[in-house]
Amino acid sequence: MPKVVNAHDAKNQPFPLATRDATRKGIVVTRNGKPVAEPTRPPSRRGSTLLGAFKGQIHMAEDIDATLLEFEPYSTGF
């Protein structure tokens, strides 16, 4: 069953509420006895990581560090 907390307490003591929400018991924030918010956890990002998604599909040119011809006049000779 969710814990009912008034808005004043939720604003002044957010840490206990965050730890309670971490246990997935739920919280309902009220103002003048009426529910105004029900904080939830953000959705899990597991499985949505795209590391390695383009492996083997992207290739860099050998002269990646070479100065482009159109920028030659601006080159300071690094």
Q: Measure the CA–CA gap between 50 and 35, rounded to whole angstroms.
A: 39
The two three-digit tokens of residue 65, written as one number: 């560090």
Ordered by start, the domain boundaries in the chain are 3-41+51-74
Asked if pLDDT for residue 69 goes beyond 70, the answer is: yes
Q: What is the rounded average pLDDT of the residues 67-73?
A: 73
User: DSSP assignment, residue 65?
Assistant: T
CATH architecture of 3-41+51-74: 3-Layer(aba) Sandwich (3.40)
Torsion sign, CA atoms 44, 47, 49, 50: negative
User: pLDDT (tens digit, 9 = 90+) per residue, 10-66?
Assistant: 888 877 777 765 556 678 889 998 999 887 777 776 666 677 888 888 888 887 777
Instruction: Spell out the residues 6+ positions from residue 7 whose beta carbon is closer than 8 angstroms to its own.
Output: 29, 30, 31, 36, 37
| Residue given tokens 């990581």 in the structure block | 49
